[in-house]
Amino acid sequence: MTERSLARMVRRAREGDARAFGRLYDEYADRVYAFVRSRTESPQDAEDVTSVVFMKAWEALGGYDDRGLPFTAWLFRIARNAVVDEYRRGARRPIPVEDLYVTEPAVGGPEEAVVAAADARRLRAAVRGLTDDQAAVVALRFWWNLSINETAEALGKNDNAVKALQHRAIGSLARILRKEGSDEA
Partner 1 sequence: MRPEDYIDPNDTLSHALGSAAEQMPARARNRVRREVLHAARADARRRWFAGISRRFAVGMTVASVLGGGFAYATETSLPGDALYGVKRGAEDALVALLPPGGLEHRVLVGLAARRAAETAALARRGVDSDLVGESLGELRAAVRQATPADGAMPADDMARIRERAGDAPDATRAAIEGAVSGSGTDTGTSGAQTGPTIGSTDSSSSDTTQDPDETGTDSPGDGDGSEQTGPGYQSNDDAPGPGN
Binding site for partner 1 (CB under 8 A): 16-18, 21-22, 25-26, 29-31, 33-34, 37-38, 43, 46-47, 50-51, 54-55, 58-59, 111, 114-121, 123-124, 127, 138-139, 141-143, 145, 170
Least distance to partner 1 from the beta carbon of 34, Å? 4
- The Cβ of residue 146 has, within 10 Å, a number of other Cβ atoms equal to 23
Between residues 16 and 156, which has the closer beta carbon with respect to partner 1?
A: 16
CA 38 to chain centre: 7
- 109 phi-psi bin (left φ>0, alpha ψ -120 to 50, beta other): beta
Q: Minimal CA–CA distance to 59: which of 109, 14, 9, 126?
A: 14
Instruction: Specify whether the CB–CB gap between 83 and 36 falls below 8 A.
Output: yes
CB of 26 to partner 1, least distance (A): 8
Amino acid type, 176: I
Q: Which is nearer to partner 1, 59 or 85 (CB)?
A: 59
The nearer residue to partner 1, 33 or 74, going by C-beta atoms, is 33
CB of 143 to partner 1, least distance (A): 4
- Smallest distance, partner 1 to C-beta of residue 83, A: 14
- For partner 1, the closer CB: 107 or 118: 118
- Give me Rg for the CA atoms of the chain: 18
Q: Cα(133)–Cα(128) distance, rounded to whole angstroms?
A: 12
Smallest separation, CB 123 to partner 1 (Å) = 4
CA distance 77 to 104: 32
